[in-house]
């Protein structure tokens, strides 16, 4: 599996997992966009005095095994939190295997309950009974914040008052990850018109990295939304053999207009992004601790 990483320039020689106790690791934030075929799974890794791990989405039921292996390979034997942006199978399907194979301290989602809202798919019944009865379960809406070392996750969507739309995707959780000046917007399966509504309700949604909503489908974001995010890099989590034709040529064309470099899990495999507090990022061929291989560097700031 090819691995592309975007890595802080100055910190490549410091290893988190193997750092001796008397050497404080240089604080870093890694975002691992795991290739799960159809679906999303993003591992957020804080490297610092106390390592911390949050998994945003878990892939589909078939690739849950791969996500579990990846988490362990990255160095985690437990997760501080698993966040399910919305309970669709390509985002929540890996949770069963992961949460039964390693300790997951908290599970959060957007509170959506399709089973009780008239969708008879048994997956939703199993999902809600697996997650909602846990003491450490929480439904998150806009305004909630979650610490990740010196970084922070802020939930930007769905709004506390809800968002009326026939599709769950319109209420997918959207998360802004901040570390110093660095910002990454994880858009889950957000679709229009919710994306434009989000852009109009939040004063600043600009981000260095955008995880494209809804696998880069045509409805993944209007020009208004994308121009306000103004990403340098867009990551599309998509299956090479999906039946939906994702990502759409229209969405990719919009990415060109906003000047973003597009990375895709179907072509690039696992994508690892390492961020500096300054906002500086660079792209390397391998996991940051496994050796050199810088592909591309972005200067600090925007
Ligand atoms: Zn999806």
39 alpha carbon – ligand 1 mean position (Å)? 5
Asked whether residue 281 carries a pLDDT value surpassing 50, the answer given is yes
Q: Determine the average pLDDT of the residues in 280-289.
A: 61
Q: Which two tokens stand for residue 256?
A: 């060109």
Compute the mean pLDDT over every residue in the chain, rounded to the nearest whole number: 87
Q: In this structure, how many other beta carbons lie within 10 angstroms of the beta carbon of residue 203?
A: 6
16 alpha carbon – ligand 1 mean position (Å)? 32
pTM of the model: 0.88
Q: Give the pLDDT band (50/70/90) at residue 107.
A: very high
Asked whether residue 21 carries a pLDDT value surpassing 80, the answer given is no
Asked whether residue 228 carries a pLDDT value surpassing 90, the answer given is yes
Instruction: State the Cα–Cα distance between residues 159 and 156, nearest whole angstrom.
Output: 7
65 alpha carbon – ligand 1 mean position (Å)? 18
Question: How many angstroms separate the Cα of 301 from the Cα of each of 172, 226, 241, 248, 296?
Answer: 29, 19, 36, 30, 15
Asked if omega into 247 is within 30° of 0 (cis), the reply is yes
Give 5 or 64, the one with higher predicted confidence.
64
- In this prediction, residue 289 carries a pLDDT of 52
pLDDT digits (tens, 9 = 90+) for 113-162: 888 788 888 999 999 999 998 999 999 999 999 999 999 999 999 999 99
Instruction: State the Cα–Cα distance between residues 275 and 232, nearest whole angstrom.
Output: 13
Among 32, 27, 33, which residue's Cα sits nearest to residue 10?
A: 27
Q: Determine the average pLDDT of the residues in 285-297.
A: 53
Domain boundaries, the chain: 3-15+26-298
30 alpha carbon – ligand 1 mean position (Å)? 22
Instruction: Identify the weakest region by mean pLDDT among 85-89, 132-136, 283-287.
Output: 283-287
3-state helix, strand, coil in the chain (%, to 5): 25, 25, 50
pLDDT digits (tens, 9 = 90+) for 198-227: 999 999 999 999 999 999 999 999 999 999
74 alpha carbon – ligand 1 mean position (Å)? 24
190 alpha carbon – ligand 1 mean position (Å)? 9
- In this prediction, residue 295 carries a pLDDT of 59
Tokens 């305004």 correspond to 143
- Fold of the domain spanning 3-15+26-298: Metallo-beta-lactamase; Chain A (3.60.15)
Measured over all CA atoms, what is the biggest interatomic distance in the chain, rounded to whole angstroms? 56
The DSSP string of 20-86 is -TTSPPPPEEEEEE---SSS--EEEEEESSS-EEEEE----TTTHHHHHHHHHHHT-SEESEEEESS
40 alpha carbon – ligand 1 mean position (Å)? 7
């Amino acid at each position: 599996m090819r691995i592309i990483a975007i890595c802080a320039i100055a910190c490549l020689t410091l290893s988190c997992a193997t750092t001796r106790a008397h050497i404080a690791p240089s604080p870093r934030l890694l975002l691992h966009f795991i290739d799960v075929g159809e679906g999303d799974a993003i591992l957020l890794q804080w490297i610092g005095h106390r390592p911390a791990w949050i998994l945003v989405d878990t892939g589909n039921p078939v690739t849950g095994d791969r996500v579990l292996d990846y988490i362990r390979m990255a160095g985690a034997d437990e997760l501080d939190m698993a966040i399910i942006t919305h309970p669709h199978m390509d985002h929540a399907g890996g949770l069963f295997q992961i949460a039964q194979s390693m300790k997951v301290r908290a599970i959060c989602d957007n509170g959506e309950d399709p089973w009780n809202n008239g969708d008879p798919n048994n997956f939703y019944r199993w999902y809600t009974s697996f997650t909602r009865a846990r003491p450490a379960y929480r439904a998150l809406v806009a305004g909630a914040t979650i610490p990740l070392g010196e970084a922070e996750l802020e939930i930007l969507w769905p709004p506390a008052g809800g968002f009326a739309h026939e599709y769950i995707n319109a209420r997918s959780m959207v998360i802004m990850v901040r570390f110093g000046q660095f910002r990454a917007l994880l858009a889950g399966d957000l679709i229009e018109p919710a994306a434009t509504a989000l852009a109009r309700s939040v004063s600043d949604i600009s981000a260095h990295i955008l995880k494209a909503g809804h696998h880069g489908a045509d409805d993944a974001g209007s020009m208004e939304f994308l121009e306000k995010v103004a990403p340098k890099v867009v990551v599309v989590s998509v299956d090479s053999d999906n039946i939906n034709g994702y990502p759409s040529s229209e969405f990719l064309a919009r990415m060109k207009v906003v000047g973003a470099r597009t990375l895709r899990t179907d072509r690039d495999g696992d994508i690892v992004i390492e961020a500096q507090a300054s906002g500086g990022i660079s792209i390397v061929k391998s996991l940051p601790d496994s050796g050199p291989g810088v592909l591309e560097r972005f200067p600090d700031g925007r």
